Amino acid sequence: MISKHKLDNFNPKFLVVGCFIEHDGKILLVKRHKAKESGDKWAGPSGKVDSGETEIEAIIREVFEETGLHLDSEKLIFVEHSYVRFSTFDFVYVFYRYILNSKEKPHIRLSEKEHTAYKWMTPEDALKEDLMQDEDYCIKTAYHI
């Protein structure tokens, strides 16, 4: 369950950041490694914020680690600060959008420990994929679908 409002008895274990990277009207989705939480599910690049790290520093690091892309912090577009409840834990999730302005699709270098595939698709088509829990909410929120 995800909500833009704090849930009752909310007890977050950590803070997670995520980012929808856009190119030519399509967003980048990565498929989580089957050995990871929510394995074999699709989502935008995301990850936990490390101790002493800001949300912006974390999303720049996570996107680079997971895709090889370098983001400019000035071009990050804040979408929402949300509250997530999984069956066994709660966490705070902050997500962003980032628009790539290059004419050519960038080269993606996946972290093999974390992801097994990637693809570019419209936000509407992404909603038809086997998405990580609550990723549909995030896509709909980010793209006003």
pLDDT at 93: 97
* Exposure string over 46-83, b if 16+ CB within 10 A, otherwise e: bbebeeeeebbebbbbbbeebbebebeeeebeebeebb
Contact 145, 127 (CB under 8 A): yes
pLDDT in single tens digits along all 145 residues of the chain: 999 999 999 999 999 999 999 999 999 999 988 877 777 899 999 999 999 999 999 999 999 999 999 999 999 999 999 999 988 999 999 999 999 988 888 999 998 888 899 999 999 999 999 999 999 999 999 999 9
Contacts (Cβ under 8 Å, ≥6 apart) of 139 = 20, 27, 123, 126, 127, 131, 145
pLDDT attached to residue 105: 84
Distance CA 109, CA 79 (A): 25
Check which CATH number belongs to the domain holding 123 and give it.
Answer: 3.90.79.10
- The predicted pLDDT at position 10 comes to 96
Whole-prediction pTM: 0.93
pLDDT of res. 40: 86
Write down the pLDDT at residue 19: 98
**What is the pLDDT, as a whole number, of residue 25?**
95
Domain extent, residue 28, equals: 2-143
Three-state secondary-structure class, residue 12 = strand
Q: How many domains does the chain have?
A: 1
